[in-house]
Amino acid sequence: MTEPLIALDHVSMVFKARRGGVKAVDDVSLSLEAGEVLCLVGESGSGKTTTGKIVAGLLKPTSGSVRFRGQDIWQMDKARFKAYRRAVQIVHQDPYASLNPIHTVFTILATPLQRHGMVRGRAEAVRRVLELLETVDLTPPESFLFKYPHQLSGGQRQRVSIARALTVNPELIVADEATSMVDVSIRVSLLNTLQRLRDELGVGFLFITHDLAIAKYFAWHGRVAVMYLGRVVEFSPTPALINDPQHPYTRALLAAIPEPDPDLTRRKGKLQLRSLDIPSLLHIPPGCSFHPRCPLFEAGLCDVQRPDLVPIDEKRLVACHVVARERTGTIAKHAASPVGISSDPVIGADLGEYGKESS
């Protein structure tokens, strides 16, 4: 068996707080193959960004191990760690904070190239930077070369960020809400650029988002991990997750996607959560952390015993007592309300196809 590119093994991250600690990431295990797209989905505070930073080696988890091609990154020697560092890059959410305001686009992109001896001399640096700008669809690249970040739009900055990540030829890009702060009109073209990088350069993505529609669009051929309060509650290939969500939290998330068609919205089954408040990370509920909100809640089980992430078929993992019991025991459709399939124009085509397959 070949080693995955990156594997998180029972990783937890506790941040120190006044009383005790905040468990931002709780016993998460994930693995990512080279060139794969994995989406991390969840509300704010679910530990997505922390997980992303752990994958990028920017945070050291308080327990558990992160392995890069089978080697624990925090036990590596310096040279290997540097190689890993360069293999995994990060693109941040806020295009206004992720570029240093005092440097021109050329400096931002040429510095890592020169630092790692990937270009020799100015002329070659200019040529390579122009190439990178073209790769991320900033055309004509010449006009961006000596611009300062404040002279660029949010979308353009985000492209510069992506180009910067590409300077060191990474194998994996952690895209932390990389599209959520740009205008909707720009978002699709930015996603298309990323998708092209994946197809043409074979770059893998850990795509962190709170928007399932984007996960659908970007990671259709990949997998999605749904996170809730620091834990992965469902881990499954994207089409299966979108069309047949298992965990009640995933179903709630999908049900919350607004539909452009009002008739569809009215017909769409609403999932009644028992509470709309996300519990504080300082007081995570015992047992299943979702139980105070869960429509499938069973007293004496869910509020006592913590569900493990268990396989319900060959490809899908769910952390829910009720679903696991139903799927592995008597397989019954537990909710009468089918979650409406989004007809989001962005993903309509893709979903249409899938809808045919599954019906």
Partner 1 sequence: MAQAARPGQLELAPPGLGQRLATAVKVFFRLLAHSKAGFLGFLGVLFFVVLALAGPIIVPDAGRPDMTKIYQPPSLEHPLGTDYEGRDVLKQMLRGGRAIIVVAVLAATLSTLISIAFGALAAYAGGWLDSLIMMLTDVVLTIPQFPLLVVLSAFVKLDRPWLLATLIALLSWPTLLRAVRAQVLSLKEREYVEAARALDLGTTRILFGEILPNMASYIVMSFTIGMTAAIYAQVALYFLGLAPLAGENWGIMLNLAWVRGAIFYKDSLMYILAPVLAISLLQLAMVTMSRSLEDVFNPRLRES
Contact 190, 209 (CB under 8 A): no
Q: How far is the CB of 129 from partner 1 (least distance, A)?
A: 9
Task: Using CB under 8 A, count the residues that bind partner 1.
Answer: 43
In whole angstroms, give the CA distance from residue 214 to residue 179.
9
Query: With binding defined as CB under 8 A, does residue 102 bind partner 1?
Result: yes
Query: With binding defined as CB under 8 A, does residue 88 bind partner 1?
Result: yes
Q: How far is the CB of 17 from partner 1 (least distance, A)?
A: 17
User: Alpha helix (H) ranges present in the chain?
Assistant: 48-55, 78-87, 105-115, 121-135, 154-166, 184-201, 212-218, 238-243, 248-255, 262-267, 321-328, 348-358
Site residues for partner 1, window 116-155 (CB under 8 A)? 116, 122-123, 126-127, 130-131, 134-135, 142, 145-146, 148, 150-151
Q: How far is the CB of 113 from partner 1 (least distance, A)?
A: 10
Nearer to partner 1, 14 or 118 (CB): 118
Contact 135, 165 (CB under 8 A): no
Query: With binding defined as CB under 8 A, does residue 210 bind partner 1?
Result: no
Query: With binding defined as CB under 8 A, does residue 336 bind partner 1?
Result: no
Nearer to partner 1, 86 or 306 (CB): 86
Contact 10, 217 (CB under 8 A): no
Q: Residues 165, 203, 257, 320: which binds partner 1 (CB under 8 A)?
A: 165
How far is CA 263 from each of CA 230, 335, 339, rounded to the nearest angstrom? 36, 21, 14
Nearer to partner 1, 102 or 184 (CB): 102
What's the token pair of residue 291? 């139980």
Q: How far is the CB of 159 from partner 1 (least distance, A)?
A: 14
Query: With binding defined as CB under 8 A, does residue 277 bind partner 1?
Result: no
Q: Residues 49, 50, 167, 342: which binds partner 1 (CB under 8 A)?
A: 167
What count of other Cβ atoms lies within 10 Å of the Cβ of residue 26? Answer: 20
What's the token pair of residue 117? 């001896």
In whole angstroms, give the CA distance from residue 316 to residue 167.
35
Q: Residues 14, 119, 168, 264: which binds partner 1 (CB under 8 A)?
A: 168
Spatial CB neighbours of 40, under 8 Å, sequence gap ≥ 6:
48, 51, 52, 206, 207, 208, 209, 224, 225, 227
What's the token pair of residue 298? 């069973």
Letters for 7-46 (x = contact with partner 1 by CB under 8 A, - = none) are ----------------------------------------
Contact 182, 98 (CB under 8 A): no
What's the token pair of residue 238? 């994207």
Q: How far is the CB of 112 from partner 1 (least distance, A)?
A: 4
Interface contacts to partner 1, rule CB under 8 A:
53, 56-58, 82, 85-86, 88-90, 92, 94, 97-102, 106, 111-112, 115-116, 122-123, 126-127, 130-131, 134-135, 142, 145-146, 148, 150-151, 161, 164-165, 167-168, 200
